[in-house]
Amino acid sequence: MPKNVVIVGAGVGGMCAGALLAKNGYSVTVCDKLDTVGGRTRTQTVGGYGVPRGAVSFQLNGILPAICKEVGATFDLRPVSEMWFWIKGGGEFAQLPAKSGIGKMIEMFLKVHGGADGVKAMAQVGLQLSIAKIGAAFKDPNAMVTGDGGPTFRQWIEQYTDNKDLIALFHTITSAVSAVNDFEYPASHWFAHFAAADARMDKYALVPGGFVAVSRALGKVIESHGGKVLLNTPTLKIDTANGKATGVTVQVDGQSKTIPADIVISNAGPTQTLALTGEAAFDKAYVEKLRSRIRPTPIVASFVVSDEPLFEPRSAILAAGLKRIVTAVPLTNICPEWAPDGKHLMSFYATPKSCLQPLDKDDEIKANTEDIHDIFPDFEKKGGRILDIQLRDITDADVVARSWPGYNMPVQTSVPNLFNVGDACGPAGFIATPAAAMSARLAADHILSNFKN
């Protein structure tokens, strides 16, 4: 008899784990409280527009496409693999080849802030010296920071420069990658991410059906191998007995139902897994580690519509020097079907004033709106208007990431047949959907080795 695996949550981590195990002969049942798969990568309809709730860019290399290929999950992709850069004070956009992004951004930064006259010429000399010091430090293993302790990335970079504009440039890079402010984000995790080649999104695409199409394709793999994907089925409890998980209790049509399991995988996030199971089921050390380590990640995502495109290229944008916004994507330049009647849809992403404190929502709306007008002064002229601003706070169940990159929990819990997957359970250096996919890979490999059919 194949072993029964019940998965709580149909996000990317849960669906990757389910597809990997179903393909290897396990009996898989996925339960989700929503009416769709995808979790925080689902698409919402707002005013007739397709608005991504979470992930937008699909990594073309690395773990997630590798899992999809392995299990046979197929969906349409529109490769972009291009980045443009804008810096406040420059008044123009510059194209950045993905593999030389930081170097090109520094090159543009020097162009904007340099000059031949007196003060500017002296300032440029100082900038070039700072950049040379930073570049040398990046190449020096002894200058890197490892482990959980140590400085934030802002504190690390300030060893080599006190130029506020250059610091703002690295703030943009850090925030765009990690969704955490550089003055709060540990330098060790910054270096871990850039050292993990499989985790980086050097090449990317958009999914015409929305990122949710990835989870739908994985769901088809699960069902093609005899598994089930049960929607509108919230999990009320993860059941345990004699130190092991025995199944889950779910709600179906207003009634409680127990689904027995040999193995339980939770894609609900480590904190919610603890709540669903009960603290008493876990070792004290595991509970203490979870509570001290998990740091939910907030975000402000603004979606604007316009009569004319605000930006022409099929590309993402990195922006430096703004109050909050660090990156943007002209979605309908790549996926025009996401907007009705030839209108245009663009998304902007920002790290809030602090990633450790609850949002001041009025302040965030004001700052983000000002940033949009700063980067696009012709916003109104092109018929621009704010469609939706997602303020996803650290206290929300639907945070952008369930923990900061690097502050992750292992996929194995202290309950031997209960596993966590998702973006809070990836190894060092992995962020967002690559972290979720890698956690699924780790959990599936452990199950395949230790819970054989």
Spans of all domains in the chain: 4-40+210-294+405-450, 83-199, 298-392
| Closest alpha carbon to 264 in 284, 249, 280 | 249
Distance CA 233, CA 256 (A): 10
Tokens representing 145 are 């920071």
Average pLDDT over every residue of 47-63: 91
Q: What CATH class has 4-40+210-294+405-450?
A: alpha beta
Average pLDDT over every residue of 240-250: 97
Give ∠ CA 285-290-294 in degrees, rounded to 5. Answer: 155
Q: Calculate the average pLDDT of the chain.
A: 89
Span 91-101, pLDDT tens digits = 778 877 555 55
The number of CA neighbours under 13 Å toward the Cβ of 445 is 8
Per-residue b/e over 418-429, b at no fewer than 16 CB within 10 Å?
bbbbbbbbbbbb
Distance CA 225, CA 240 (A): 27
Span 73-124, pLDDT tens digits = 999 999 986 788 888 877 778 877 555 556 666 666 666 555 444 445 445 5
Span 302-315, pLDDT tens digits = 999 999 999 999 98
Sheet (strand 244-252) strand order: 235-241, 244-252, 255-260
Distance CA 327, CA 84 (A): 10
Average pLDDT over every residue of 326-330: 96
Span 334-348, pLDDT tens digits = 999 999 888 999 999
> What is the structure's pLDDT at 119?
42
Instruction: State the pTM of this model.
Output: 0.92
Q: Which CATH number fits domain 298-392: 3.40.50.300, 3.30.160.20, 3.90.660.50, 1.10.3720.10?
A: 3.90.660.50
Backbone angles phi, psi at 291, to 5 degrees: -70, -30
Region of residue 437 (phi > 0: left; psi between -120 and 50: alpha; otherwise: beta) = alpha
Strands (DSSP E) contained in 308-392 are 316-320, 325-329, 344-350, 385-392
Distance CA 134, CA 111 (A): 18
What does the chain come to in residues?
453
Tokens representing 393 are 């706070």
Q: Which of 110-119, 183-192, 386-395 has the lowest mean pLDDT?
A: 110-119
* Spatial contact of 299 and 400, defined as CB atoms under 8 Å apart: yes
Q: What is the CA radius of gyration of the chain?
A: 23
Distance CA 18, CA 216 (A): 12
3-class DSSP assignment, residue 391? strand
